[in-house]
Every structure is written in structure tokens, then in C-alpha cells.
Amino acid sequence: MMSIFSALIACCYSSITILFGTAVGWRYLHQKSIQLSWHLWILVASLPLCYYLLDSIGVAVFAIVSLVVYGYLPTPSLDVGNKAVLITGCDSGFGHATAKHLDSLGFQVFAGCLVKGGKGEQQLINNCSGQLTTLQLDVTKQEQIDEAFHIIKEKLDGKGLWGLVNNAGIHGIINVELQPIHVFQKVWNVNCLGAIRMIKKYLPLIRKSRGRIVNLSSFAGRFPFVGASAYCISKAGVEMLSDVLRQEMKDLGVSVSIIEPGAFKTEISEKSKIDLMYRDIMEDLDDEIKMTYDIEKQRSRMDVTKDADSGQSTDLSPVTGVIQDALLSKHPKSRYPIGQRGGTFIWLANHVPSVILDRVLPAFSLDLYLVRPRKVQ
């Protein structure tokens, strides 16, 4: 009886190995990527461990490991061909890097820049191919969106727009009570309403090509960072906008993906810019607020802090890589968490009960920009 049971267990292991190996091999042949061979090593290493250490229970463990690993395999990609993509916020950061990367792949790139004739636009003109077109594009101004639309439509000459990458964004960092309403409005206007304006204007061109919409969010859109209310609220709006739009576009053949970067250093998070905005806010606070919060202590902390960007990566290629996947994968993901700590924060927000999360949140706050109340004597 035991020999039959052992044979059955061995048969289960063999079946999983054959199915997983065949699936990986098929991906390997179609992707032509040597990186896929590492997934085969995971299969080879986990099989004896599960078989000899876990016995019958190991079948389930091995099956789960195989499914998880398979989920991380690159999916087959579409050819770039003559696909055109529009990217907002290309003056710097993710937008600038993505415009250069997609241009190098052969896309016809339309790079929207906030500052006409600025440093970022000039770098794109000088360093990219003749297929890239720069446009002045402030996503809060409908007239600039309309003007860019007419230019793009003319250059497309009857074909559709394959991709829209909504990247333009700004920061807003300070306590809710201290944050002026106009800052909430400004951050929301750029980060969320800006994406909505772009989507509503360009959806007809996207539908024509059954293309892709890629919205840059943040892990802050799903994790309540203390001291970053305006930014978190705006990115949470982008998350929900994307989820609703993805359902609405399914029958029209348009894919919608969310990119959730974490801990990358771009101009949006430069300490000098945030400090300037932050100090202007504190100067305008009324006397009652100043008595409640320890403003002077906060100023001292900011003066002695040299860098707020510790732990942030300057390599933006992981983000440009997932944007490429969202645009070209035959089966794009709905979400792409990418970067240090981002996935951990999202997991905490989704799985840890509020009563526990509220106790650990101070450890994850944007401490440099969180103004603490005065201690009651």
C-alpha cells in the first residue's frame, strides 16, 4: 500500500515538473531570453527539497512554488512596429527616461514637456531620434492638451495612438491640518485630474488602435504615509480611476495598467524643492497652529538634515522596463509594483489590521516633513 502511495506522490512530482518545465521552455523559446534559465534552476532546486524534506505535503508546496515562479516569467511581447506613444511629464524623471528608452526601441514618441525650450526638452531633442516629437503640455491646461492632440493626430496621419503614459506629477508633503487647501487642489489637479483630462481627450485615438493606457501611480496610493496626505490622496485617485477604466475598456480592447514606483530619486522628490514649498507653508500658518505644533523645532531639524533621499535609487531603468512591458506585453498586468520597499508597504496596507497598522505607521512616516505637536507640560 505504501509503495502505491509513494508511486502516486512521485507521479505528482513528475507531472508538475513536466508541466512547469514545458511552460518555461515554451516561454524561453518565444522570448529568446537567457534569463529564463534561472527559473529552471529554481525548479531543479525546489524539487528534491520538497520531495525529501516534506514528502507528501511537499507536493502542494512544490505546486505553489511552481505557480508563483511561473507568474513572474516574462510574457510574450508584441513587436514595436510603427506604434506611437504619448508620455506626459517628460522634462525629467520617469517621463524623461521613458521617452528616451521607448525612442531607442523604435517607438514613435510624443514627449509632453511642461517647460517649452527647457533643459529636459533640449536633452530629448539632442539625444533622441528624429521620430521623437516634443510638445508643450501642461496637463492642467485644456488648451495645451487640445493643441497637442491636433499636432499628434496630424502626425499619425490616420492611424491610432498605441499608448498613453500618464506620468506628470507633483508632490505635496506636510500634515493635513497644516496643508493649505490650494496645495491639495494643485496636487489633485496635476496628479489625478491631469490624467483624467488626458484620457478623455486621447481615448478615441487609443480605441482606434486597441492600445494601452499606462498610469503612473505610487505605492503611496495604497499606503497611508503620515505627512504626505495631498500626494497619497491624489495617487489613490489614480489607482481607482485606473481600476474603473480597466473594467470599462475590456470590451473595447484597451488595456489599462498602473505603475507603482517606490523609493526612486527624481526631481519630484528633491529636498531643495520640497524644502522651499514646505517653508512657504509654515510661514503662512496662523498663531493658533504655531502654538499647537513645534514649528521652530521642525525648522531646526530641516536645517541640519543634509539629504532626504537616503535609500532612494537613482537607476530608473526598472520603471522604464515595466512601462515597456505594460505597452508591449501580450498580457499586460493590471499593476506593476516596482522599487525598494514598495511591495512591502502595499502588503502591509492590504493585510495588517488597522489597529496594528496605526501603531506601526509612525515608523514609516515621512519623518523629515511631519511637524509634531508641542509636548503638553
d(CA 271, CA 220): 18
Rounded to 5 degrees, what are φ and ψ at 14? Answer: -65, -40
**Cβ atoms of 292 and 373 closer than 8 Å:** yes
User: Which residues make Cβ contacts (< 8 Å) with residue 42, sequence separation at least 6?
Assistant: 65, 69
Catalytic residue among 231, 278, 293, 369: 231
d(CA 125, CA 113): 12
Q: Is 202 a catalytic residue?
A: no
d(CA 353, CA 70): 30
Q: What amino acid positions are annotated as catalytic residues? A: 231
